[in-house]
Each structure stands twice: as structure tokens, then as C-alpha cells.
Amino acid sequence: MILPGCRVTAEKRPDGSYRILYMQADLNYSELMKRAEKPGLYEATKDGDEWQASLKKKGKIAEREDRLVAISDSGYRNPDKAASMSASRIAEAPFSGGGLRVEKNGFDMHFTPGNKRIGGLINYRDSVRPLDNTKLYESALLLAKTMYDARKIKGVGWIAEFGGSAVLTQALKILADRGVRLENHTAFLVRPRTSPNEAIKAAHAVGLKLDRKFSKTHMLDYIGNRDQLELIFNRWRKEDGYTGLKAITDMVEHSKSLQGAGAFMGSLAAVAGLSASAPAPAAAAAFLTALGAAVGSAATIGKMGNTMVSAWLPNQHNKLKSKF
């Protein structure tokens, strides 16, 4: 296994424990962090119209009450780009105070390098089983250390954007397995690309105080919506303030999003010729007929276009949105 600063060869014993066979220090680790080739903690501040991310060598967040910490997805070319994208997304957390506060105070950001995004339908197995994704262990261990060091700071908000949900889930599980409690902290998921139910179970295990909403999803986010019913049930079972009425309300809202997503995704599959019951031309004609009856106006078509862009091209949508 690759751990922060070293490589370890270990043997698993029949009783579940491990025996270390070989350990090699990675003397270049700090240099790799400086070049953003390894996970690390950054401080994000806005300079004019640009966000800048500065590496925090000790891996500790700012000791300020109610500090916001973003856990970014992978797939960004550098930490500055990750900070720019994360800024608008963490502002969507109910406890963030909104975009003005985020821009004024800045935030800390846990960055995970990589060419591809984490989770999603393409990486379905990693999405539904985020705790088994060994590629993220190194990043999750560093985040867990950061969270442990910050455990006495009041009101810290850990906000995962998109695939960052997997790193947060693993970090919370690491802390829970060691009996660490974060009862003065909270967390939120912005369009998670891995199981939100696994994340909520890990959040409960460390005692996080959660807001009325734990995650925000798009109607077309299959992974983010996939196990929301289990999540709702777990919240009702574990959280004193999460009443049956709140659970029912969330179930109704969830069913609406699923119906919308199901109808749209089914139509899209038909256009792409993915329907097993009809050839592509017939399916496409059926889709166009249904679409024409459903939208009825140019304004609605424009709205659906916006929905598609925000669902499948979120980074591009974020750029467009910032211009208005």
C-alpha cells in the first residue's frame, strides 16, 4: 500500500491484523506535494477575479471558528482551478453563508490530484463502494489527519464537491474506526459522485452534527440519487431532530427528482438507439414526438438545455453561470 510519505508491504493475518514486512520512505514526497502531484491541503483566497490556492505545509486548517473546508474532486489541472470550481459549489452548503462570505473569508481545500474525476457512472463500482477504492487511501489518510488536528475547532464545515465525496467518506471511516468524534463539526455533499448513504453512515459514526439537508443533487445525478431512500431511513433512525415528517417530505422530493430523471434518461437512451425494443430511427421519432408535446415552447427547450449542460458538463456550466 502507498501511504503519505512511504510505501509499505504488509501481510494480512487470519485474525484480521497486519504484519509489516517492508517499509520504504519516499524522500521526494514533499517535493511532489509542492508540484501538486500528491494530495495536500491548500488555503484558497480570491485575488481580484481569480482564486489562488497556497499549499499549507503542515496540513492544518486555519484555526477559525466555522471554517469552511472543501474536499475537491480530481480531474483539475491544478489546485487553483480546483479552488475556482470549489468556491461556487461550497457556497451551496446551507451553513456556508453564501457566495459573498466564501469570497470574503476564503476557505481551506483538500486537493486530490488526478487526470480523471472520481466516481460517477463510468466508475460504477467505485461509486457504490467508495470505501473499497484503494486509489484514494493516500488522500483519505491525509484528510483524516487534517480532520483529527481540527477536532477541537468549533463549527468546521467539511464540504465535498462531486467525487470529493469518496475521499470524505473514507476519511470519516478512518476516524470512526479509531474512535474519533467530531461532534462540533458538520458536513455536506454537493452533487456527490459516490454513494451518499455510505457517507451518511460514516458521518453518524463520528458524531457530525448535520444540517436539515445533507446533500444537494441534480435531477440527472444517478449516483447521487441512487440510494437516497436508504440515506433518509438512516437519518430518521440515527438523528433525533430528523423526524418522520422530515423523512416523508424528503422522500416525496426525492421521488419527484427520480421521476424526472427516469423520463429524461429513458428518452435520451431512445435517441441514442440504446432501446432494446426498437431500432434507433423509430426510437428517435418517438422521443422527438414526446419532447415536442412536453416542452411546448422555446423557453422550456432552453431550460432543458440548461439542465443537460449543468448535469453532464458541470464545469462548463459553472463558467457560463459566472458570466451572468
Quick one: pLDDT at residue 192? 95
Residue 314's contacts (CB-CB under 8 Å, 6 or more residues apart) are: 162, 191
Cβ-contact 131, 170 below 8 angstroms? yes
Quick one: pLDDT at residue 180? 96
CATH number at residue 163: 3.40.50
Are residues 25 and 140 located together in one domain of the fold? no
Angle, CA of 164, 167 and 221, to the nearest 5°: 40
Whether 297 maps to a domain, the answer reads no
Quick one: pLDDT at residue 317? 58
Quick one: pLDDT at residue 246? 92
Phi, psi of 46 (to 5 degrees): -100, 125
Cβ-contact 69, 167 below 8 angstroms? no
Quick one: pLDDT at residue 185? 98
3-state secondary structure of 302: helix
Q: What is the rounded distance in angstroms from the CA atom of residue 246 to the CA atom of residue 318? A: 31
Grid coordinates of 213? 439537508
Grid coordinates of 226? 441512487
Residue 54's contacts (CB-CB under 8 Å, 6 or more residues apart) are: 42, 43, 45
Are residues 135 and 215 located together in one domain of the fold? yes
Give the bridge partners for 10, in sequence order. 20
Are residues 24 and 100 located together in one domain of the fold? no
Quick one: pLDDT at residue 73? 96
Mean pLDDT, consecutive 10-residue stretches, the chain (324 aa), reads 71 83 72 78 93 93 96 95 95 94 96 93 90 93 95 97 97 96 97 96 97 90 89 94 90 68 47 43 48 45 53 61 48
Cβ-contact 113, 74 below 8 angstroms? yes
Ramachandran area for residue 36 (φ above 0: left; ψ -120 to 50: alpha; else beta): left
Quick one: pLDDT at residue 112? 96
DSSP state of 227: T
Quick one: pLDDT at residue 129? 94
Quick one: pLDDT at residue 128? 93
3-state secondary structure of 59: coil
DSSP per-residue string spanning 120-189 = SSTTHHHHH-GGG-GGGHHHHHHHHHHHHHTTTSTT-EEEEETTHHHHHHHHHHHHHHTT---TT-EEEE
Give the bridge partners for 216, in sequence order. 190
Cβ-contact 264, 303 below 8 angstroms? no
Kindly calculate the radius of gyration of the chain based on its CA atoms and give it in whole angstroms.
21
In this predicted model, what pLDDT tens digit does every residue of 147-160 receive, in sequence order? Answer: 999 999 999 999 99
Are residues 66 and 150 located together in one domain of the fold? yes
Give the bridge partners for 68, in sequence order. 157
The model carries a pTM of 0.76
What are the start-end ranges of the H helices in the chain? 29-34, 79-90, 99-105, 124-128, 137-149, 164-177, 196-205, 222-226, 228-238, 244-271, 280-295, 298-312, 314-321
Are residues 257 and 231 located together in one domain of the fold? yes
Grid coordinates of 53? 490556492
Are residues 25 and 57 located together in one domain of the fold? no
- Nearest to residue 193, comparing CAs of 252, 123, 134? 123
Are residues 13 and 88 located together in one domain of the fold? no
Quick one: pLDDT at residue 11? 86
Are residues 10 and 94 located together in one domain of the fold? no
Determine the structural domain holding residue 14 and report its residue range: 1-29
Q: What is the rounded distance in angstroms from the CA atom of residue 116 to the CA atom of residue 111? A: 13
Are residues 132 and 229 located together in one domain of the fold? yes
In this predicted model, what pLDDT tens digit does every residue of 64-76 receive, in sequence order? Answer: 999 999 999 999 9
Are residues 23 and 50 located together in one domain of the fold? no
Are residues 174 and 116 located together in one domain of the fold? yes
- Nearest to residue 183, comparing CAs of 201, 162, 168, 203? 203
Are residues 101 and 13 located together in one domain of the fold? no
Quick one: pLDDT at residue 123? 87
